[in-house]
Structure 1
Amino acid sequence: MARVILIVFGFQFLLKSLAFGQEPPRAEIDLEEFIERLFPIQDEDIDYEGIYEALFQLYQNPIDINQATAEILQATYLLTPAQLSNFLSYRKSNGPLLSLYELQAIPGFDLPLIQTLIPFLTIGSAINHSKPFFDRIEDASQAYLLVRHRRIWETRRGFTPPDTSSTGRISSRYLGDANELYVRFRLQKSRDFSFGFTLDKDAGEQFIWDRRTRRYGFNFVSFHFARYQVGKWRSIQIGDYQVAFGQGLVFGAGYTLGKGAETVPTVRRSSAGLLPYTAALEFGFFRGVGGTYNFSPSLSATLITSHVSRDGRIQNELDSLDQRESFSSINQSGLHRTPSEIETKNTLKETSLGFNVQYAKNDLSLGINGLYTRFDRPWQRTPRPDNQFDFAGNQNTVSSVYFNYNLKNTFLFGETAISSSGGHGSVLGFISSLSRQVSFSLLWRKYDPSFHSFYSNAFAESTRPTNESGVYLGLELRPIKKWRWNFYYDFFKFPWLRFRAYAPSSGYEWLSRLTFQPNRSLTVFAQIRQEQKDRNLPDDGQRQLTYQLAALNKVNGIFSVEYQATKNLYLRSRVLFSRINFNQEKSNGLMVFQDVRFQQSNWRLTGRIAIFETDNYDNRLYAFENNVLWAFSLPAFSGQGMRYYLLGQLNPTARITLYLRFARTIFTDREEISSGLRTIDGNTQTETSFLLRYNLFK
């Protein structure tokens, strides 16, 4: 579970004051605080469900601080290279820690850092394998059933009766109702076993039993069973799982961090190995069997097999001899609401076979990755100027070598890969602490336009590591105790055409964030981010030989004041703004909101009221919102209007947790919301969510 600790920096200001002299209680996880810290500029391309899943898995599987290697601890992104070097030296000289509070004795470990670490670490929790496996199930640390309902109450066009056009064609409509249903069961004991399933039905999908399209009531069904430390087997996975090794060029395993307000440690990926897949997203996972075997304490091998159905758009090609089937695209939305969307469900069969061999001893780790993927029919994309080098055919092989090396206060890392097309991808970087006040990171990457890797998640400006080269520099300064300055600059080039940029192009991005925290009750920060990329100019009707590009310059800013007024009352005031300059036209956006949270021993209320105004959709603003457990709200605000929500949480018994959320957006500049089948006739959108979690063994 090494990789998943990477996402916890944002919780350090929420942990309660803890009394020393005893082992600390485990703090509750607050997803919003985490999101705000690592992703101050949000957008729809981030996998927030994967973020929460990774974080919660870490919380449920705390790392034994006395057994953790340098690789595992570095992968937490909680420690600077200097802090990690100091910790390893302390443990080597003094032996195993007797308490987590002993961390105070290590140079560079202050109280805020220790409070950040506490929820995700433990001391000694060896599994007693002499006890029969089925008897150990009763000792499961997590055993719960979760049921969630969500609905938009205004009627969307997709749920209205179909109409007939002048040509007699009947319009498409959603086949199911407007309710979203989600069911999750989990039985788990940290570092011993994990079993669970996830069921999901989206709004507009039918609740139907159809074996042909594999809709068994719910539209999506996922299952996993995992065992750990079985003889020399480190991990055995059955069902749905993910894989993470190296820097993510071959195996990127779900969610990893990149550019954010934590500007130094998050550029590096870690080798977490095999991980159960428990999210409701319908892509990005393997389905089959995988295992990691330890030949010795320093040498391990992993083998994975997978056979899974994917959603694809099938097309027929008629040549002089016969008719062949191919597919033009893979549908990753997971939505199957209309006959057209249902036609894509489970139309493709994907078979994968992969391996990893890793050697890790002391401060050095080396590894080799390989993955072969085959589809049951060829992938033939609809030709466009920007996709000439994209993958085509029905099989692909990608392999890589990688290394990690810890040299005192510096981490060196890298990976280079090649796909069957001959395209290469490479990442090389380091993270270093010059002192307790100064840390920095440097990363170089280069991905050929013809580099193809389906399960990659390497550091990149684009959503996929392809057709890109760049250099990233991150810096963090702590000049005095109450102040911190984070900064990064990233320069990138795209040697071939991209979507909405039909010529080779380049760009840059930088972020600066200044944080002032005079005490644990008050946090103030100001942040600005600027990004510039080339984009196609609009067609002006004039004949020209090539597409003309112009720089699109976007600036986002945040000013935030957060105040813990009392033990039970928390306040946040925030201003967000955006500015776009493209083709000599400027546009702006502004949003202001106030958050309030009040809690008692067994209940909590969280609310927000916000107003926003933007000139166009390019200036849209994102503001992450509190939601019920395992649900996410990240609306894009554009136009003019107001947004408010109220979230209640109640724990009536030790076994039962209830959540209820009401949210509404009121627009003042329109009488129609969204487009297509999602259109709402009116200027309001109202949403409710309800969740029940029942703990079996509490």
Structure 2
Amino acid sequence: MSYFLMVTSFAQEVPKKEIDLEDFIERVFPIQEQDLDYEAIYEVLFQLYQNPIDINEANAEILQATYLLKPYQIESILNYRQQFGPFLSLYELQAIPEIGLEDLLRLAPFLQLGKGKSENPKDFFSRIPDANQAYLLFRHRRTWERRRGFTPADTSSSGRVSSRYLGDPNEIYIRMRLQKTRDFSFGFTLEKDAGEQFVWDRSTNRIGFNFYSFHLAKYNLGKWKNITLGDFQAAFGQGLVFGAGFILGKGAETVSTVRRSSVGILPYTAALEFGFFRGLGATYQFNRDVKATIIASRVPRDGRLQNSLDSLLEESGSFSSINQSGLHRTNSEIATKNQLKETSLGVNLEYSRKSFSGGLNFLSVNFDRPWQPTPRPYNQFDFKGDQNQNASTYFNYNWKNFFAFGEAAISTSGGTGIVAGIIGSLRKEVSMSILYRNYDRDFHSFYSNAFSESTRPNNERGIYLGLELNPIKKWKLNLHYDFFKFPWLRFRAYAPSNGYEWLSRLTFRPGKTLTTFIQIRQEQKERNISDTGESQLGYQLAPLNRINGLWNLDKQLSTRLFIRSRIMWSKIKFNENESYGFLILQDIKLHMDRWRLTGRISLFDTDDYDARLYAFESNVLWTFSIPAFSGRGIRYYLLAQYQVHPRLTLYMRIARTSFSDRKEVSSGLQTIQGNNQTDTHFLVKYDLFK
């Protein structure tokens, strides 16, 4: 009787506030120290959060994939559901002592209330208007100062004509998406980058837009849990074979993000032109415990062909590198477009029962031309040839408040990769993580995104320790320490080397409207003292020590007005030389009925590029921005969102950087004469059904 009264008191659903993607991204993303394109990571995570989890069906694996729950909270949810049955309202989560109102409001955008398997009494076309997402999106982006690549070509004294971009400086992006959770998903993406031509020329593999992507997915069709045609990604185990293009790890969230989750087949919706399958991906559920996934893909890749005249030294028709930028602006870049075909066949077999899940992965990747990288001191054990196979086995096991996980893989070369760890809650106030990895120098896996210090999981050994403490309700301390070794040479380190990294973040939240934290991170890696690139020289290594500090204050002044103040600094020491960097920024966000305005002004001063600083920036919908601040200057931007109609939303952003230490910006064909760079983004989103 008491239980009936308790659940019937939850009469209304939890108000689902808009997801604070900026806070989420800064918390779970790795600390930026490279000019990486994080769009693929963002896209995959955004898909996960645009498909709310059924709280009545989710197991520990699925709940952990949110990165929003502590191990003890996951265990409490599962125990509560087992004892009292399915949740009747999301508000019922408050009946769990470990889930407070603040946790509930944070989780609400990512949860839904289900009652078992979805039922679709309507025919397919009648269900389309019920789609969770149904929109058409158009985005334009441009830098308004003229880059060197868009100037008239000149001729050198030797008669050589300089290279220039063939297209205009406008970037055009179009996306359409129709999706109903656990039912269907359809979408396409079209893109032309700045400098690329909109041209129909089959001889150079260019047909209108430079990049096309599409997918069609059907879910829960009898025992077929997922059938996807077109472009997609896959994530199984800890990412040694199937990594789904994204990796979290050593960010300010020091515990939950070290573990990967087997989310299976995901439609590919990003505009990056590398790292996805194109073909068929399907998952079949044999029974409650066993399911299998098959992958068949054939996709063109950009590659640079060898230009050797000596067929005895280099195999005819081989390629030396894969172009992952997706840019085709000059004749040289166009010459790489679709120069090789990649055929992939993969299988996953997974067993899941109660608190245990495990599986087997196999992936075969074949190129129609052999890969022969240009010899360098550090790449002697890199992949060579025209085919590679990977096989792995993985497991996940949860016991009370602890999750153990691991994966072991091998490639055709005989190189192996191993990653294993545990995350858990020692008590409500203490959570921890431990992760060990060991990747051979000749371990090759093209679709892996396992936890690693390097961009690829090979030539690395390490152990990571993470800790989160909540000693007092308003205080939180995050810590991690990672020690790693590189047994073989690597880029800019032509000898075996090692290093370490530690991070500490102390957060204080005295109330719902004020949050402040201070963060310090130190990393040390060894680097060549002599960096001429000539392998015959005797290289010596010296430690490069990098320290970054950050102080942040967030204040919600009213329901409409929010401000953020932040100070960042860096110190770099290498071979007895020191350099420093400093950045101060101020944000303001204002909501006014149909308008949403976000503005920022930043002042920065760094001694050199090594001392650069990164800061996440708000941008138009589904557009990612983490610029590097180097040199001396000021940067500011204004982002405006206007709801014209319930179905029509406009976004406009203008950003400008003014340098005081230079007379030209960037280098090569990207060079701008002058000390200013002005960028605009314009986006229109039209909801098809509302």
CA distance in 2, matches of 1:280, 1:261: 27
Give the structure 1 partner of residue 149 of structure 2.
158
Give the structure 2 partner of residue 431 of structure 1.
423
Give the structure 2 partner of residue 206 of structure 1.
197
Give the structure 1 partner of residue 643 of structure 2.
651
Q: Is the 8 A contact 1:375 1:394 kept in 2?
A: yes
1:74 is aligned to 2:68: no
Per the alignment, in what secondary structure is the counterpart of residue 216 of structure 2? strand
Alignment of 1:401-480 (within 5 A): 401-480=393-472
Alignment of 1:602-641 (within 5 A): 602-641=594-633
TM (norm. structure 2) is 0.96
Count of residue pairs the alignment pairs up: 680
1:53 deviation in Å?
A: 1.8
CA offsets per residue over residues 234-286 of structure 1, 9 Å max, x none? 10010000011000000000213111101011100010111100110000100
CA offsets per residue over residues 379-416 of structure 1, 9 Å max, x none? 00100000000000000001000000011111010000
Give the structure 2 partner of residue 354 of structure 1.
346
1:373 is aligned to 2:396: no
Give the structure 2 partner of residue 85 of structure 1.
75
Selected match of 2:302 from 311, 318, 332: 311
Q: 1:681 to 1:486 in 2, by over 3 A?
A: same
Q: 1:518 to 1:682 in 2, by over 3 A?
A: same
CA distance in 2, matches of 1:210, 1:194: 31
Q: Is the 8 A contact 1:83 1:107 kept in 2?
A: no
Selected match of 1:104 from 84, 91, 94: 94
Opposite residue 188 of structure 2, the aligned amino acid is F
1:95 is aligned to 2:85: yes
Alignment of 1:262-661 (within 5 A): 262-317=253-308, 318-319=310-311, 324-538=316-530, 546-661=538-653
1:538 deviation in Å?
A: 2.7
Q: Which moved more, 1:237-246 or 1:34-43?
A: 34-43
Give the structure 1 partner of residue 108 of structure 2.
118
Give the structure 2 partner of residue 260 of structure 1.
251
Selected match of 2:175 from 178, 184, 201: 184
Q: Is the 8 A contact 1:41 1:556 kept in 2?
A: no
Q: 1:114 to 1:170 in 2, by over 3 A?
A: same
Opposite residue 227 of structure 2, the aligned amino acid is I
CA offsets per residue over residues 287-332 of structure 1, 9 Å max, x none? 0011110110100011110000000001144336997110000000
Q: 1:320 to 1:401 in 2, by over 3 A?
A: closer
Q: 1:420 to 1:555 in 2, by over 3 A?
A: same
1:234 is aligned to 2:225: yes
CA distance in 1, matches of 2:592, 2:645: 14
Per the alignment, in what secondary structure is the counterpart of residue 599 of structure 1? strand
Q: 1:162 to 1:669 in 2, by over 3 A?
A: same
CA offsets per residue over residues 490-536 of structure 1, 9 Å max, x none? 00000000000000000000000000000010001000000000000
CA distance in 2, matches of 1:541, 1:49: 31
Selected match of 1:666 from 644, 658, 661: 658
1:436 deviation in Å?
A: 0.4
CA distance in 2, matches of 1:666, 1:29: 32
Opposite residue 364 of structure 1, the aligned amino acid is F
Q: Which moved more, 1:286-295 or 1:128-137?
A: 128-137
1:139 deviation in Å?
A: 1.7
CA offsets per residue over residues 144-183 of structure 1, 9 Å max, x none? 1000001100000000000000000000000000001000
Per the alignment, in what secondary structure is the counterpart of residue 346 of structure 2? strand
Per the alignment, in what secondary structure is the counterpart of residue 645 of structure 2? coil
Task: Structure 2 unaligned segments of length 5 or more: list them.
Answer: 1-8
Opposite residue 417 of structure 1, the aligned amino acid is A
Selected match of 2:20 from 30, 51, 55: 30
Q: 1:49 to 1:467 in 2, by over 3 A?
A: same
1:213 deviation in Å?
A: 3.5
Q: Is the 8 A contact 2:10 2:89 kept in 1?
A: no
1:576 deviation in Å?
A: 0.4
Q: Is the 8 A contact 1:311 1:346 kept in 2?
A: yes
Opposite residue 120 of structure 2, the aligned amino acid is H
Q: 1:423 to 1:220 in 2, by over 3 A?
A: same
CA distance in 1, matches of 2:601, 2:71: 41
Q: Which moved more, 1:213-222 or 1:141-150?
A: 213-222
1:219 deviation in Å?
A: 0.4
CA offsets per residue over residues 80-118 of structure 1, 9 Å max, x none? 221111111110000001111111111211122111110
1:197 deviation in Å?
A: 0.2
TM (norm. structure 1) is 0.95
CA distance in 1, matches of 2:676, 2:581: 20
Task: Structure 1 unaligned segments of length 5 or more: list them.
Answer: 1-18
Q: 1:267 to 1:45 in 2, by over 3 A?
A: farther
Q: Which moved more, 1:133-142 or 1:122-131?
A: 122-131
Percent sequence identity over aligned pairs:
66
